[in-house]
Amino acid sequence: MNLADEEHHMTNRRLNPPRRSVLTGLTLALVGCQSTARGPIAQETPPVPSGGPSGAVIPPAQGAVEIRPGFEPWLAKLRTDAIAKGISKPTVDVALSGITPIPRVIELDRRQPEFTQTFWRYLDGAVSARRVADGQAMLKQHGPLLKRIEDQYGVPPRFIVSFWGLETNYGKGAGTYPVIASLATLAYDGRRAEFFRGELFNALTIVDRGHIKAQEMLGSWAGAMGQTQFMPSTFLRYGVDGDKDGHIDIWRDVTDAFSSAANYLKSLGWDGNRTWGRAVALPADFDFNLASIDTNASEVVKPLTEWSKLGVRQPDGMVLPQQPVQAAVVVPAGAKGPAFLVYDNYRAILKWNRSTLYAIAVGHLADRITGGEALTVKRVVEEPLRREQVTVLQEGLRKLGYVNSEPDGVVGAGTRQGVRAFQRAKALQPDGYANRDILARVAQASGLAAPT
Ligand SMILES: [Ca+2]
């Protein structure tokens, strides 16, 4: 979500350049209505449409939200600019007439996550028993269509359904904000005004091309649209008219929505002959320095045969498949949590949404809806770190010389690297995982008081 810092939110995905947001880590808002717009879980629970003229129902802002004055002259200039960009005057007139800034959108844009997200809490929501059962039903219901799409794009049905389930709960939570007004609000007074201004022109272009009427263009508060939650730029680049009726309709037409998702995934490098990764069991003496903290140059990638030699097994103890696959180990809840070997398709998922938790949830849901087992590792329920606690952790790590950056209250790759360096120095398991235990140790070592 927060487009501003890629690390923090889950919203705005599909922002290609600047890519959507991220949660690379474990941070996400748990606040009642979440930080950012899109996202399966991070997404604000959509209000029930009332069937008004636009179908849009915006909940009132909860606090006092100040929007700076001057929207009308700004909008007048925007109209001129839109027409200068080649968007037709009738489209501009219809789409922009009468719109006003939406206070709730500003409120959500300014919201900061209050907690880090924890693996189990996230997964329980993203891959609930209900989500699995519904996914199985959807896989069956849309089987022939999904097979045709697989033949064309090389993305297996279970992954299309899984993305669909995580993005919008199989189309049920596609968002009820009017996209044009929401984007105009963010372009006028948002934290990434320039980015949203570009997306607003893209949204107007979509209307101008006749794909959807402006008043029917609904989405998340940050402009993620339809069943796949595409930002307008992603729609323009990757949207597909699957049923060939002349319109790309990712709001109401599952053929278009699935085709668009598959086309986007194909462009992200999806390999239809491989899966995303798999849950594994690590040996008791596993060296957690080999676990990946981020998909970057420091990531340790080895063929499955090498991981096998190191004692990595399937969860039931069976040896790993002897396939020529390169994989990395990911431990999203630290050494005591579940472990995964992730393949190239996992990286494709991260390009859709740069969140480790999201990527694992997509893969796991895809497995579950095709009969895969639930995670068997013993679940360790932890209290999430609050923002202020993360800030103290970061201050302590900085004081001790393990990180250089300014504390921001959000656990990202840099913080995890710092935690790992601290763990190495203290002969702890170097899993890079930030929790209350590490906070207490870092606070003590650095002489800071850890907020309880
Ligand atoms: Ca169509």
CATH number of the domain where residue 414 is located: 1.10.101
Return the SS3 of 104: helix
User: Is the residue at 306 inside a domain?
Assistant: yes
User: Is the residue at 53 inside a domain?
Assistant: no
User: Is the residue at 294 inside a domain?
Assistant: yes
Tokens of 267: 């462009």
User: Is the residue at 429 inside a domain?
Assistant: yes
Q: Separation of 203 CA from ligand 1 center, angstroms?
A: 17
Give me the amino acid identity at 298.
Answer: S
Predicted local confidence at residue 297, as pLDDT: 64
Q: Separation of 242 CA from ligand 1 center, angstroms?
A: 5
Q: Separation of 149 CA from ligand 1 center, angstroms?
A: 14
Predicted local confidence at residue 56, as pLDDT: 57
> Which residues make Cβ contacts (< 8 Å) with residue 173, sequence separation at least 6?
40, 43, 45, 46
Q: Separation of 246 CA from ligand 1 center, angstroms?
A: 6
Tokens of 24: 């690379």
Q: Separation of 263 CA from ligand 1 center, angstroms?
A: 14
Return the SS3 of 278: strand
List the one residue out of 120, 140, 231 whose CA is nearest residue 186.
Answer: 231
Q: Separation of 211 CA from ligand 1 center, angstroms?
A: 8
User: Is the residue at 54 inside a domain?
Assistant: no
User: Residue 69: phi, psi to the nearest 5?
Assistant: -70, 160
Q: Separation of 158 CA from ligand 1 center, angstroms?
A: 22
Distance of alpha carbon 195 from alpha carbon 190, whole angstroms: 9
Considering its fold, how many domains does the chain have in total? Answer: 2
Q: Separation of 215 CA from ligand 1 center, angstroms?
A: 18
Q: Separation of 201 CA from ligand 1 center, angstroms?
A: 22
Tens of pLDDT, residue by residue, the chain (452 residues): 333 322 233 333 333 333 333 333 333 333 323 333 333 333 333 333 333 334 456 777 776 788 889 999 999 999 999 999 999 999 999 999 999 999 999 999 998 878 888 999 999 999 999 999 999 999 999 999 999 999 999 999 999 999 999 999 999 999 999 999 999 999 999 889 999 999 999 999 999 999 999 999 999 999 999 999 999 999 999 999 999 999 999 999 999 999 999 999 999 999 999 999 999 999 999 999 999 987 776 789 999 999 999 999 999 999 999 999 999 999 999 999 999 999 999 999 999 998 999 999 999 999 999 999 999 888 888 899 999 999 999 999 999 999 999 999 999 989 999 999 999 999 999 999 999 999 999 999 999 998 88
Strands 326-330 and 291-292: parallel
User: Is the residue at 357 inside a domain?
Assistant: no
Q: Separation of 55 CA from ligand 1 center, angstroms?
A: 21
Q: Separation of 253 CA from ligand 1 center, angstroms?
A: 7
Q: Which range of residues forms the domain containing residue 425?
A: 387-446
Distance of alpha carbon 152 from alpha carbon 326, whole angstroms: 26
Q: Separation of 239 CA from ligand 1 center, angstroms?
A: 10
Tokens of 422: 């601290």
Q: Separation of 169 CA from ligand 1 center, angstroms?
A: 21
Cβ–Cβ under 8 Å, residues 280 and 339: yes
Tokens of 47: 């209000």
Q: Separation of 213 CA from ligand 1 center, angstroms?
A: 14
Distance of alpha carbon 318 from alpha carbon 278, whole angstroms: 13
List the one residue out of 169, 168, 159, 166 whose CA is nearest residue 139.
Answer: 159
For residue 35, give the DSSP letter.
S
**One domain for residues 338 and 391:** no
User: Is the residue at 286 inside a domain?
Assistant: yes
Q: Separation of 41 CA from ligand 1 center, angstroms?
A: 28
User: Is the residue at 400 inside a domain?
Assistant: yes
